[in-house]
Chain A
Amino acid sequence: MCADTAVAPPRKSNGSDPGDPAAARAPVGARRRRDDRRAAWLFLAPALIGFALFYAYPTLQGIYYSLTDYNLLSDPTFAGADNYSQLIGDEQFFNALKVTGYYVVLNIGSQTVLGLLLATLMHRLTRSVALRAILLVPWLVPNVTVGLLWMWMLDANLGFVNHILDALGLGTTGFFTSPTWAMPTVAGVNTWAYTGYTALLLYAGMLQIPHHLYESASLDGAGEWRMLTRITLPLLRPVLALVLVVSLIGSFQIFDTVAVTTKGGPVSATRVIYFYIYEQAFTNFRMGYASAVAVVLAVILGVLTAVQMRLLRASRSDLA
């Protein structure tokens, strides 16, 4: 495959007239190759235009905006590293990083442990597709809907959960309005929404583990816990690592749930980095500053993605 592109002739004849009669007399292979080149650019045209306009250009533009003062109404004015030096003294920014970190730890922790538990239960008990489909439903639903649904379930006065807590003599809690509980609540809600999805990915990984390993372990008298720690977990490690990194990157980008439920409050307890960027850009009209925060987030996520790509490469041998 790599050898194909290393072949010199097509590169040399790059600028030649497509109607060149010499090409018609050339062997089939060469003619095919020349036709390929024209076809290839036609096949690639939409994707390349999309890439240039909506990925490459905005990336450069974003870096440029981060060096400017820009309120979306008048033209950006160059401000050098001002935005970045402001960042260093911005408590809200560091709070956003801290809050996001707290969310990521809570969410990834609960989602992975519960997902692993669910996947193990499914793997050891049933292969029902219907069951898997039901577990997938919360993932299919928009985060906005999930947010509203749980705002209602957890409402301080009328919410179903508080009715239960009250009946159990535990008193009621304003889950989304308490500075202590707001973030764990948001994390819990997203855990509810994404655990089924995580569990299914892990379950798919478990199906790759040869069954005879479990059979012989069970003949040797190994219990479920032993099978989990000695067979499932070690053999699942590549998949588990991948799922972890993917959901880690995903949870850094939490926005919808916060935007619907807490709007960053109470007292910035849930003002995560994505929401902070959004507010700076579209509520305070500080596009340049928002871009600088986005650059920092991009660097963090870039590192995580690089790790992800490495894992992807390691888990698939036929990758280019």
Chain B
Amino acid sequence: MTPTPTPAPTEDARRKASPLVKSARRKISPGRIAAWTLLCGALFVTVFPFYWMVRTALTPAADIYSDSTGLIPDHPTMINFLRVLGLTSQAEARAAGGSGAHVDFLRYLLNSVVYSGLIAVLQTLFCAMAGYAFARLRFPGRDAVFGVLIAALMVPPIFTVLPNFVLVKNLGWLNTFAGMVAPSVLMTPFAVFFLRQFFLSIPRDVEEAATLDGVGSWGIFWRIVMPMSRGPLITIGLTTTVWSWKDYLWPLLTGREEETRVLTVALGIFQQQSPNTQPDWTGLMAGSTLSVLPVLVLLIVLGRRLVESLNFTGIK
């Protein structure tokens, strides 16, 4: 803030902000080594199963018994990926260890993207609109309506899942994207609450100036409030994407068929189709790898943002 002593104090402050990183440069104590060992152990336990998943996916099904301990497969192959992506013929897939059932993970991947994309974008938009109304517009009964809406936080998901399934079924929306996204696309109480909190903190002056210039609420919302709220909007959008990407029960109930089957449901069905006594592990791990890749890309592209979002919404 104060312009005079800029460079030196910031450097000093940075050192002060991490006293232990500083002292680490000075001395290496046994305790410190033990602590780093623990942390590296945790990282190993986190990462290794993923490595093993990819390693298995790259192993030919025929080798699964003979080659199950080495860190690198004896005969690495892409065939498992090709067959779960539906890029091989039925005969080739069966020869490579498939059950012969039709799988097309490319399609399920796309379905997952459509499913979580629709929910993330529309839910964020509609919740922002509602949050804005509650934060900024005056209308009779505002606090009461807000209270009722937030009370929905108290209702556990399983409770609404059963009747919502009946509703979607009666509407004839089973196995359509409309039915799959309907319950979550219009609102979720937490997002309304979260965005309202942020909108309350935006200074009113800018809006009032715009009002005097004759800009309506819709214009203020789109041209002033939304651009100013990029961070929180991305936060809500990202966490919604992750949750809907992981979603299993609802898409399992409403979108089992091929046209709407998302990755999680596809993995479950794929597992059931493979014999219990001799599961198609190489194929399952190839499919599992495909379900991890997109979130990994998300993490690499938006890593810092995602990690910081957590600090922001996590403690909800």
* Known A211-B19, A253-B156; contact A145-B217, beta-carbon cutoff 8 A: no
- Whether the Cβ atoms of A152 and B53 lie closer than 8 Å is yes
User: Is B80's beta carbon under 8 Å from chain A?
Assistant: no
- Whether the Cβ atoms of A309 and B49 lie closer than 8 Å is no
Q: Which residues 203-253 of B sit at the A interface, judged by CB distance below 8 A?
A: 211, 216-218, 221, 242, 245-249, 253
Option from B19, B49, B162 in Cβ contact (under 8 Å) with A214: B19
- Whether the Cβ atoms of A148 and B217 lie closer than 8 Å is no
Give complex CA distance A40, B146 in Å. 12
- Whether the Cβ atoms of A136 and B306 lie closer than 8 Å is yes
Interface size bracket, A side: 35 or more
Option from A145, A204, A218, A253 in Cβ contact (under 8 Å) with B314: A204
User: Is A80's beta carbon under 8 Å from chain B?
Assistant: no
- Whether the Cβ atoms of A47 and B130 lie closer than 8 Å is yes
- Whether the Cβ atoms of A135 and B310 lie closer than 8 Å is no
- Whether the Cβ atoms of A153 and B43 lie closer than 8 Å is no
Main secondary structure of the interface of B (DSSP, over half): helix
* Known A40-B142, A142-B263; contact A51-B163, beta-carbon cutoff 8 A: no
* Known A204-B314, A256-B249, A259-B268; contact A301-B126, beta-carbon cutoff 8 A: no
Q: Which of B4-12, B95-103, B296-304 contacts A (4 or more CB under 8 A)?
A: B296-304
Closest chain-B Cβ to A172's Cβ sits at a distance in Å of 13
User: Is A200's beta carbon under 8 Å from chain B?
Assistant: yes
- Whether the Cβ atoms of B137 and A200 lie closer than 8 Å is no
By beta carbon, the residue of chain B nearest A208 is B311
Q: Which of A37, A133, A196, A246 has the most CB of B within 10 A?
A: A133
Closest chain-A Cβ to B270's Cβ sits at a distance in Å of 9
User: Is B121's beta carbon under 8 Å from chain A?
Assistant: no
Q: Which residues 241-273 of B sit at the A interface, judged by CB distance below 8 A?
A: 242, 245-249, 253, 263-264, 267-268, 271
Option from B138, B158, B163, B295 in Cβ contact (under 8 Å) with A141: B295
User: Is A277's beta carbon under 8 Å from chain B?
Assistant: yes
Q: Which of chain A's residues have a CB closer than 8 A to the CB of B200?
A: 1, 318
Q: Which residues 189-243 of A sit at the B interface, judged by CB distance below 8 A?
A: 192, 196-197, 200-201, 204-205, 207, 211, 214-215, 218, 224, 239, 242-243
- Beyond A7-B138, A148-B267, 15 additional pairs, beta carbon < 8 A: A47-B149, A51-B149, A53-B186, A54-B182, A56-B152, A62-B162, A125-B36, A129-B307, A142-B247, A142-B291, A145-B267, A246-B315, A260-B267, A309-B153, A319-B197
Instruction: Pull 27 A–B residue pairs with CB atoms less than 8 Å apart, ordered by A.
Output: A5-B138, A10-B140, A35-B216, A36-B137, A39-B216, A43-B129, A46-B126, A47-B129, A47-B130, A47-B186, A49-B186, A55-B152, A57-B167, A58-B160, A61-B163, A65-B162, A125-B35, A127-B21, A137-B46, A140-B295, A142-B267, A143-B248, A158-B281, A160-B69, A200-B307, A214-B19, A253-B158
- Contacts from A to B (Cβ < 8 Å): 1-2, 4-5, 7, 10-11, 14, 32-33, 35-37, 39-41, 43-44, 46-51, 53-59, 61-62, 65, 72, 117-118, 121-122, 124-127, 129-138, 140-145, 148-150, 152-153, 155, 158, 160, 163, 192, 196-197, 200-201, 204-205, 207, 211, 214-215, 218, 224, 239, 242-243, 246, 253, 255-256, 259-260, 274, 277-278, 281-282, 287, 290-291, 294-295, 297-298, 301-302, 305-306, 309, 312, 315, 318-320
- Contacts from B to A (Cβ < 8 Å): 16-21, 24, 31-32, 35-36, 38-39, 42-43, 45-47, 49-50, 52-53, 56, 64-65, 68-69, 126-127, 129-130, 132-134, 137-143, 145-146, 148-149, 152-160, 162-164, 166-167, 169, 182-187, 189, 192, 197, 200, 211, 216-218, 221, 242, 245-249, 253, 263-264, 267-268, 271, 281, 284-285, 288, 291-292, 295-296, 298-299, 303-304, 306-307, 310-311, 314-316
